[in-house]
Structure 1
Amino acid sequence: MPRMAADDRVSTKVGGSTLKSASVELAQGDIVNGRYRLEQFLSSGGMGRVWQATDLDLRREVAIKLMHPGLVATQTARERFLREAQSAARLRSANVVSILDVKVDTERGVPYLTMELLRGEDLSRRLERGPLSYAQTMAVITDLCAAITEAHAKGIIHRDLKPANIFLLEGRLDRGRELVAKVLDFGIVKSLAIDSLEHAHSSEPRALTMAGTALGTVTYMSPEQAEDAQNVDHRADLWSIAALCFECLTGKRAFRAKSLAELIRETGGPRVVPSNIADNLPRGFDAWFARATHHEIDQRFSSVAQLLEGLAALGKTQAPSAGPGPSASLPPPSRSWASDANQIDINELRLLTFKNNVVNEFLDSGSKYFVVGSKGLGKTLLLTYKRSLLHEQYQGGDERKQAAVKFIPEGRPYLDLMSDLPSVGKAEITLMSELHSCKRMWGFAFRIAALSHHAGVGAGASSDERDELLRIAAPIRAMLEGRKAEPTVVVKQLLALSFGELKQMLDRSESFLEYKIRSLHSPTFIFVDKLDQALRQLPRQAWIAMQAGMIEAAWDLMSTNAHVKVFATIREEAFAEYESDIKANLHGATTALRYTKRDLKDMLEKLTYFYERVHLRDFVRLDHITTTRGARGEQPFDFIYRHTLGRPRDLVIIASEISRNRGAPIDEQLFKRVIRETSAGMLVANVFLEMRVFLEILRDRDERGRFLALLRNDILTAEDLIDVWCRFHGFEREYYELHGREAEGVYHPFRELFDCGLLGVVVRDPATGRRSQHFRQPRDAVGGSRRQLPPSPHYLLHPALQALVMQLAGGGGFVPFRHVVIGHQQPWPSYYGRMIEVQRELQRGADRGDEDSEDAVFDVLARFDGHVGAGESVEVARHLVAATSAFAELTTRLEHRGWDDLHLALLELFPARRSVSSAAQVVAAPERAVERAAWSGDHDEGGEDGELGGPDTTMGPTHRAAVAMLLIDIVASTEFVEHHGDTMLVEFLRDIRDVLTHDSHEAPRVIKGVGDGYLVVYGTVSGALASARALLGGLEDRSSLRLVVHWGDVHVGAADVYGVEVHRLFRLEKVAERARVGPPGPVTLPTPGRVMLSSAAVESLPREQRGGFERVGTFRIKGFEDPAEVWVESEPR
């Protein structure tokens, strides 16, 4: 803990450096040593801070670890930092992070090391979501043991193995395992080789750690390391591995000690029995753990290999455990879900707080004071957590030092009596609407509050000071004389004064309070929270200015006296709206809460395990949800996410309601009903209250109900918005045409819906041209009711709002569109517009009473949706439906009945085919994709009927022919989905298809979707190679695709190709080095980014084209009678 002398500065980084050294801290955008640009803060450890950076010389992403500024001047720490780099660099293990560079920044004198940038999460974050299975644990421990074995072989002992130092790579399924781990942070290693070298060159051996000092994290430390860290051997790491394994399998720490003395006592007593902590452990684990952590060192495993062998043997006797099925009963929840941070026990904050990079930065940094975010993002939870960490840090010393540190308020941050604001008049409202005045009030309030908690500091010590005190109003003067107060209470007292009294007191007391606050030398922490909620009855400008004035006054106070620190929350809408000269200075001190969809899913997984003691999948007990009104299905979390506003609190509220219903079997219908009712009844109602200061129409419940009752569909056009506006305001359309188009208030109910995140728009990505849906997210600025809506071909009601409107309509006047999935970031394919128009025409003709035609239309739409959902291209699906007898009968009926508008809308969605022969093939096999058909209406490279060109396109569906086959497979597709999402995978596949159909020199005969790629048939190998090269040429990362070309006789169907040669093609793709016949050659498998060919494919090429290939070797391949040769295209130069 920092020494609390007069010249000290208060440390606000838990366990970290002081503000004296903060001036050399680097920030985003800074360039280290003229080469590495800092892009994003990742984490902080005992020795340094880790950033994602760009290597400007090599144009690649790296991780860079910068030594903590507070340690730079310490020679011992600098040597230890160098030792980490030296130790890690000596290791050549796939399970140790690779060190790329180690130097000292010449400008700032800060040592740094650069490493490979890893994608994924550390083990501590993964364990926050619950324990691992035995198989997952074995994967992690196996990799950990591989790394430590390499280290021990080189005389290196890690001494700080813990979950935070083990990194799980994202999506690494290429090794046949779910989890792949790498060891990080060799900052406190004991290197036997280096120690020996130091001893050889010195008359007195000098350790980098004081003799007898324990290094490492207490929870995972062996008792001998706790007693004397300098005299441990490799078995200290074995103890840590055992403790890690215990935590992976049980979700609990094996040892709970928080100090070395506690650890020695705990490890010297009876050992914890793992089976008493968790069920479903492998048989024999209790005995394995008891041996691994035996009191006597000699009774433990003697090596990493022996320890791992013993753990692996347990799996041979483990019985597989089955998770609960859809109707299985679950144990009762351990506690009720808490949607407000004030309901959470402070001792449970560590277990509940979800930490992404943004959260870690706030908790770890010594220069972050303000938390910015919309309602429901967890600002209070984070502020409370920060307070508890600081309290642990500063209350751990002797009583004198504890008494010197002040926390205001003395309890946890909470909403005080500010909500009981006295009635204020117009003058006070005007005052609170001015940023400068608000800043002065808060500056006064902070100083009074800080001085009131230090007895005797605020009281007048001389006659002059007593005279100064008399200028301050009596209730506030009492605070300076010993009555403790909080800043919000002081502000309330100020607002109780008349405008003249307030201004006079602020003017007269300014110099006196400035002198007093500068004389304060004891650490003082002030916390302000939920100010937005306390001020919610104020007009918008006052609501913004009071929050902005608060953080600017806090910043000024901290600049005046570095011993006083103010931590506060502020609504994102207020922070984004206000303007000020010093606002730019606040950004570096501000943490803006941001959560990705992946973050929210991990957060819900973690909270589910905490509250329910089961994983999310077992809690929901559903694998798949059929989405609204016949559209394609989705994962349960995706369904939940679409019904939220992208906030953690929304997830907690919904999960709480699911928990309430867990006594009954949860089927899909109950699950969807709970989600919809909860989102409609609680989330939507809450957001109107939270956004009250920004609303004019929708803040009134009756007006809001009257407006929502006018909505008839969940997807609206601009004309629909105009119609609703006219009816809501009671104006004729003629009035709108004359006056409404330019009027500021024309759309305001819809603008307010948009600002509340309940009305979405369709946006186009300028980079890709693709359209998607966008609903205002918590991080987006608020436009306000006087600004126009973003232009959009369609406006979309949020799924939660849809559920509310359907309740208001009683299932009558509101009709949602079918087969359209609405939600933030959901794609908006071009056919949605035509599908919606078909259903609009159905609604317009509802008075016809033609239920048969209506049923037939929805049947056609369902067929189309089914084809697209099964992976067919949109164009193929359209032509498949158009070629069915059901569609022909429907269009004939509509034509006979004169329903022309609906007939034309259907023909626009399902255009009639122009090729009679192709249509005949589709009718013969109506449910199969005819990939030889026209791929898009804009494609004009084929014959006159739009069919794909190329040799011999008239082949029948059962003709046998010698063809070239190109197999395209996306490498690590699971990693791709986890990183980018299912939608991006579909788009990637679509892009591949576009290249194949539009950019190929030779048009393909057949394109067939297979797994995570395509099987494409060409007339020549040259054509297949040209397409493969076109694909690779358009990729940033050529290794993301695996391409194989083969030649052979096959049967060609309308959309398929089959025969023994097709099976051989797939076998070729799987060939690996272990199947090689003979010694290795100059080229070894795999060959990422290069096309692989069979010998048959190479031999079918004209002789003059065979020069660009290299022979890999001969391999035994299943399906080939004899060993087969494999070739690869030469690397591009």
Structure 2
Amino acid sequence: MMQPWIIDARDLDINQPVERDQILSTPAIEDFLDFDNKNKTIVAAPKGYGKTLLIKYKRHSYEDRGYLLIPQNAMVDVGPGTAPSLSRDQVAYMLDEQDFWATVWEVSIALSVIKHHRPQLSGPDALPSPESDALSNIVTDARLLTPFQIFAQLLHLTPNGFFAAKRFLQSALLPAYGQIHRPTAIFIDNIDEFFVHHIASRDSRSAYHGVLEPSYWYHAQLGLVSAIYLLRAQNPHVKVYAAIRIEALNALRDRVPNAVNLLSQTSVIHYDRDALTAIFRRNIELERTRNLAMPDAKEPFERFLGPTSRALRHHFTGVIEPVEDFLWRHTLGRPRDLMLIGERLAQRPASQRHPDQVRRTVLDAAREICRLYIAEIAPHLVWFDESLLFPLIRWNVLPLERLAAISEEYNRRALGHVPPLDAEGYVHVFWDLYRAGLLGHVARDERDGRPRQIFPTIAVDGHLTFKTRDVLPPGATYLVHPVLASHLQQVSPDFVSNMDTRNLIAPGAAWRDDDGMRFVAQGDIRGYSQLMADPGAAQAFSVFFRRLVEDACIHVQFASVARGDDVLIVDHSAHHVIRALRSIVASLRNSHFPQCELRFGLDWGQVGSVPDAAGHPIPSTGVPLRRAARLEALARPGSVLMTDIASRALSESGESFEISEVTSSWPGGPRRRARGWDVGKRPGSEKDLVLQQLFTLEL
């Protein structure tokens, strides 16, 4: 039985076959895995998308069908270590010769097939002697059997040796290759890792690897695609399958004359949210019973995590989201990310997978995903000094002017001055973050015209590559991906307190603009005047109460304490406001001042604001401010007295509140009149403060 949460398919060996039901089906995957579909020979995707798993399954599907499989002692052919060190002259001719990489791969594949079918290469099986001694040694070396083994040696050839190999391909290898009649299948993987050192360094030379050329990482992969396409016409009995990175395909597709033909043999893999969720569910099915929080539950996530963690409340917005949504948005859309998260959760004792523990575990895993991803893609990008940039990003929502200010400050710190935006030396830090999918933006959905959160992905956006310039779409609002946000929470001190409390950031999620509607809670303390009779107690209470309100309102847009006991709380979120009120009341009751009891008035509606000296919005205008103040004076201690408008807004928020309608008054409460409840300063003094209905909520 396959183990769950396999992060790297290289852990699967030839004795551990891949079962079909372990692979999620998408149209592109079905095209590649379909045994009868001989047109799709290349699988392309970013790192972490399961390319190795797919090509290993493809090899498994060819077993017991009469095919000669290459390699014979492993599931796929991978590079022997890393690419050999190269001299400056070798690099120069490789760059100048347009068909170098395709030719080298053609020679490697054709010679490998011939060696497997003519193991002696003598007598009638003998090949003509190549013009190059170095090439002759490769041809006759019985240890060099697989395409990748031969390919690595061909890279040592001098320019003369390469042209000799090209002539040898045409005069000897292709004719012999075309005469192979036994069905043969070859499986090649990990070309990107064979050349990774060419992009992993900013230097042009390495003491160990020699001259470094980043374009090799791209050209070597596309050269293989071209070679496979060319060899198909030489012998229909030989099938060559390979896995490559989509970044290489995207970067070079516009530069290759026959790009359409090459793309026609390629399956580009992409997973949407539903597909990734299905992958996670399948891995839960593979879990041992003793590692399930609720083994008898029918629903997989409840079985794995327990009923209390089936949905999680977002700390900053108050939104309750299914746990699978929480998991998904803390990935970069790659199966590998979900496998990492699943593995970390599975390592927690099943009895401890309560909401807080699940949340912490996922955020820790997201930070690891972020760090690994940044290390992986940084060589492809211009990149930047993370220690300078990341502390500057103190918000997860960045209006255009804020984004421009961060970019300017980064250049000032990194360069000592700020070049013009169009200058060659200006570092466009957010280009890199956008290309990497770590920065998104708000745009109108083409389907319904509503604003939606868009995060780019190289797997889907064929025009987007790691080399694309001027990539930021015009817009007013940019967004930090939750994976990067989880990392920034640790490196930027103010990031948590500046998190947006209106929108839960997630690729594809709807975007709510600020409509100015706010809940307004005005409160005061019953018994405060008696407390004031003791100056020492009054001073201690004042300090205590301000800190209490500040701690309770950490996610509230505005909160203030005036005149010692007057509390004003303003926010768009019903959850944030009611949670803050309950926290303040509970803390006060459990303090050294239990004789002090809070009461609140609550309303909902348009609230205007003006900026203070620091630019923070201060509520200044709006009927809800006045009505909440009048209701507070009439509320019972330990309760909230609210308008019918506020009651409806609370009910429509999706929260569960035990709200009851006021049917009779109490001492000091509102007065019942023929027109409704009079909450004005004087009977009938303000018509808008005569309300048809009032409601209460006990705290």
Would you say the 8 A contact 2:44–2:245 is kept in 1?
yes
Tell me the CA shift for residue 808 of structure 1: 2.4
Residue in 2 that maps onto 1:439? 102
Aligned partner of 1:428 among 81, 90, 94: 90
TM-aligned CA distance change 1:724 to 1:868, over 3 Å: closer
Offset of 1:616 from its aligned partner? 2.5
**2:284 is the alignment partner of 1:594:** no
Which of the numbers 754, 764, 768 marks the counterpart of 2:448?
768
Mapping of residues 219-298 of structure 1, within 5 Å: none
Shift of 1:825: 0.8
How far is 1:707 from its partner? 2.1
Q: Distance in 2 between matches of 1:618 and 1:564?
A: 47
* CA-CA distance at 1:654 after TM superposition: 0.2
Q: What percent of counterpart residues are identical?
A: 22
Counterpart-to-counterpart distance in 1, 2:65 and 2:474: 53
Q: 1:659 to 1:470 in 2, by over 3 A?
A: same
1:92-128 Cα distance to aligned partner (Å, 9 max, x none): xxxxxxxxxxxxxxxxxxxxxxxxxxxxxxxxxxxxx
Distance 1:861 1:819, change over 3 A: farther
Residues 885 and 347 (structure 1), Cα distance of their counterparts in 2 relative to 1, 3 Å cut: same
SS in 2 for 1:674: helix
- Alignment of 1:604 onto 2:295: no
Given that residues 102 and 224 in structure 2 are in contact (C-alpha distance below 8 angstroms), is that contact kept between their aligned partners in structure 1?
A: yes
Distance across 2 between alignment mates of 1:672 and 1:596: 22
Give the alignment partner of residue 509 of structure 2, picking from 826, 840, 847: 826
1:415 lines up with 2:78 in the alignment: yes
C-alpha offsets along residues 709-740 of structure 1, whole Å, 9 cap, x if unaligned? Answer: 2222222233333333333333699964xx42
Using the TM superposition, name which of 499-508 and 855-864 deviates more.
855-864
Distance in 2 separating the partners of 1:734 and 1:830 = 37
Q: Structure 1 pair 440/382, CA: closer, same or farther in 2 (3 Å)? A: same
Q: How does 1:794-809 map to 2 (within 5 A)?
A: 794-809=477-492
Q: 2:65 aligns with which of 371, 378, 393?
A: 393
Corresponding position of 1:726: 408
* Matches for 1:739-754 after TM superposition, within 5 Å: 739-743=419-423, 746-754=426-434
- How far apart, CA to CA, are the structure 2 residues paired with 1:527 and 1:924? 70
- Structure 1 gaps of 5+ residues are 1-251, 253-333, 396-404, 836-848, 871-883, 932-954, 959-1052, 1057-1133
- 5 Å-filtered alignment, 1:961-1000, equals none
Q: Write the deviation string for residues 937-977 of structure 1: whole angstroms up to 9, x where unpaired.
A: xxxxxxxxxxxxxxxxxx9899xxxxxxxxxxxxxxxxxxx
Residue 401 of structure 1: aligned partner: none
Query: What is the match of residue 644 of structure 2?
Result: 925
- 1:685 alignment partner, one of 371, 375, 382: 371
Structure 2 contact 301–310 (Cα < 8 Å) conserved? no
From 537, 541, 563, the equivalent of 2:215 is 541
- 1:727 to 1:428, Cα distance in 2 relative to 1, 3 A: farther
Aligned to 1:501: 161
2:380 aligned with 1:694: yes
Distance 1:768 1:451, change over 3 A: same
Opposite residue 573 of structure 2, the aligned amino acid is D
Which of 650, 674, 698 is 2:361 aligned to? Answer: 674
Supply the RMSD in Å over aligned alpha carbons.
4.0
Is residue 652 from structure 1 mapped to residue 339 from structure 2 by the alignment?
A: yes
Please say if residues 602 and 646 of structure 2, whose CA atoms lie closer than 8 Å, have aligned partners that are also in contact: no
What secondary structure sits across from 2:310 in the alignment? coil
Kindly state the Cα deviation for residue 554 of structure 1 after the two structures are TM-superposed: 0.8
In structure 2, what is the equivalent of residue 618 of structure 1?
303
SS of match in other structure, 1:629 = coil
Q: TM-score, normalised by structure 2?
A: 0.70
| 1:779 lines up with 2:498 in the alignment | no
1:340 maps onto 2:21 in alignment: no
Residue of structure 2 equivalent to 1:866: 574
Q: Please, which of 356, 367, 378 is the counterpart of residue 50 of structure 2?
A: 378
Match of 2:225 in 1: 551
- Secondary structure of the 1:521 match is coil
Gap change, CA 1:891 and 1:901, over 3 Å in 2: farther
Distance 1:668 1:560 in 2: 60
Residue 478 of structure 1 is matched in structure 2 by: 140
Long gaps (5+) in structure 2: 199-212, 290-294, 519-544, 560-567, 579-599, 632-640, 651-673, 678-691
Q: Find the counterpart in structure 2 of residue 518 from structure 1.
A: 178
* Corresponding residue of 1:181: none
> SS where residue 570 of structure 1 aligns?
strand
Partner letter of residue 9 of structure 2?
A: A
1:360 corresponds to which residue? Answer: 30
Shift of 1:483: 4.1
Aligned residue for 1:643? Answer: 330
Note if contact 1:773-1:826 (Cα within 8 Å) is conserved in structure 2: yes
Report the CA distance between 1:646 and its aligned residue: 0.7
Shift of 1:638: 0.4
Q: Provide, for residues 10-63 of structure 1, a one-character-per-residue CA deviation record: whole Å limited to 9, x for no partner.
A: xxxxxxxxxxxxxxxxxxxxxxxxxxxxxxxxxxxxxxxxxxxxxxxxxxxxxx
- Aligned to 1:375, the other structure's residue is in SS state coil
After superposition, the Cα gap between the structure-2 partners of 1:520 and 1:458, relative to the gap in structure 1 and judged at 3 Å, is farther
Matches within 5 A, 1:193-212: none
Q: How far does the alpha carbon of each residue in 1:267-311 deviate from its partner, in whole angstroms, 9 at most, with x for none?
A: xxxxxxxxxxxxxxxxxxxxxxxxxxxxxxxxxxxxxxxxxxxxx
The answer to whether the 8 Å contact 1:755/1:783 transfers is: yes
Q: Once the 2 structures are TM-superposed, how far is the Cα of residue 449 of structure 1 from its aligned partner? A: 1.2
Counterpart mapping for 1:710-725 below 5 A:
710-725=392-407
Q: Quote the offset at 1:630 in angstroms.
A: 4.0
CA distance in 1, matches of 2:144, 2:476: 59
Q: 1:857 to 1:752 in 2, by over 3 A?
A: closer
SS of corresponding position for 2:389: helix
User: Residue 369 of structure 1: CA displacement?
Assistant: 0.7
Call closer, same or farther: CA 1:754–1:727 in 2, change over 3 Å.
same
Equivalent residues in 2 for 1:284-323 (5 A)?
none
CA 1:647–1:1055 in 2, change beyond 3 Å: closer, same or farther? farther
For residues 460 and 714 of structure 1, what CA distance do their matches in structure 2 show? 71
CA-to-partner distance for each residue in 1:967-1001, whole Å, 9 max, x for gaps?
A: xxxxxxxxxxxxxxxxxxxxxxxxxxxxxxxxxxx
Q: Quick one: structure 1 residues 903 and 550, their matched pair in 2 at CA, closer, same or farther if it must change by over 3 Å?
A: closer
| 1:609 to 1:716, Cα distance in 2 relative to 1, 3 A | same
1:570 alignment partner in structure 2: 244
Asked whether the 8 Å contact 1:449–1:490 carries over to 2, the reply is yes
Distance in 2, matches of 1:376 and 1:689, equals 14
What is the deviation of 1:923?
Answer: 5.7
Q: 1:733 to 1:659 in 2, by over 3 A?
A: closer
Flag the 1:732–1:446 CA change in 2: closer, same or farther, 3 A: closer
Task: Give the structure 1 partner of residue 206 of structure 2.
Answer: none
- What is the Cα deviation at residue 562 of structure 1? 0.6
In 2: Cα distance, 1:834 partner to 1:925 partner: 15
Structure 2: which amino acid aligns with 1:620?
L
> What is the total number of aligned residue pairs between the two structures?
553
Once residues 499 and 799 of structure 1 are traced to their aligned partners in structure 2, the CA distance between those partners, rounded to angstroms, is 49
1:408 positional shift: 2.8
| CA distance in 2: counterparts of 1:637 and 1:591, whole angstroms | 27
User: So what's the TM-score if we normalise by structure 1?
Assistant: 0.45
Q: Distance in 2 between matches of 1:459 and 1:535?
A: 35
- 1:762 and 1:828 in contact (8 A); partners too: yes
Cα distance between partner residues in 2 of 1:513 and 1:800: 50
- Cα drift, residue 425 of structure 1: 2.6
